[in-house]
Amino acid sequence: MKQEIIIAGFGGQGVLSMGKILAYSGLMEGKEVSWMPSYGPEQRGGTANVTVILSDSPISSPILNTYDIAIVLNQPSMEKFEDKIKPGGILIYDGYGIHKPVKRTDINIYRVDAMDAATEMKNEKAFNMIILGGLLQIVPMVKLENVLLGLKKSLPERHHKLIPMNEAAIKKGMEIIQKV
């Protein structure tokens, strides 16, 4: 089993760290993983993306033409990656970041209103974990317990107190994701 995933949005949305947590979670499950970021002069407001591959067998290319799953968090990323989702693949987007209708009809489209939910939770930093929760609800590629282990691995110890908040955010995302 192999999942080829692109996560794309604005710098500062937690795109790279969401990818990192997903990669760590895969590692916890004994999968092969690769995490390849765009590493341009990205900063808050610029675009950022990361390719994450989770696989049961060794991974060849860390750079891909097409993706099984695209998580798209802003309109510029939608323009860039909508056409690169494999037919029958999955598109997950945040309703706040996307203002034009999706054109593809041969893929499964889901929406997570993560920005609204994060605002409601009074924690905008939970945004990327709400998205991750949505992803895991649709494709349970890693177990929640391994995501929490992955979080523990990828966060410095001084931030471990934030893990319960992240868990709550993931569960929120699982609840609110909806098929479009």
Q: How far apart are CA 140 and CA 34, in angstroms?
A: 18
Show the tokens assigned to 64.
């891909």
Q: Which stretch binds other proteins (CB under 8 A): 59-67, 73-81, 123-131, 159-167?
A: 59-67
> Which of the stretches 62-70, 106-114, 116-124, 129-137 binds other proteins when contact is defined by CB under 8 A?
62-70
Kindly tell me which of 24 and 110 has the beta carbon lying closer to other proteins.
24
The answer to whether residue 5 forms part of the interface with other proteins (CB under 8 A) is no
Please tell me what DSSP assigns to residue 82.
Answer: G
Beta bridge partners of 92: 71, 110
> Which of 6, 33, 136, 155: binder of other proteins (CB under 8 A)?
33
Q: What is the rounded CA–CA span in Å between residue 110 and residue 62?
A: 25
**Could you tell me which of 108, 100, 122, 132 has the C-alpha nearest to residue 13?**
132
Verify binding: residue 62, other proteins, rule CB under 8 A: yes
Exactly one of 24, 81, 93, 127 binds other proteins (CB under 8 A); that residue is 24
Nearest to 18 by CA among 159, 134, 96, 107: 134
Nearest distance in Å: CB 151, other proteins? 13
Binding stretches for other proteins (CB under 8 A) = 20, 23-24, 27, 32-37, 39-41, 59-65, 153
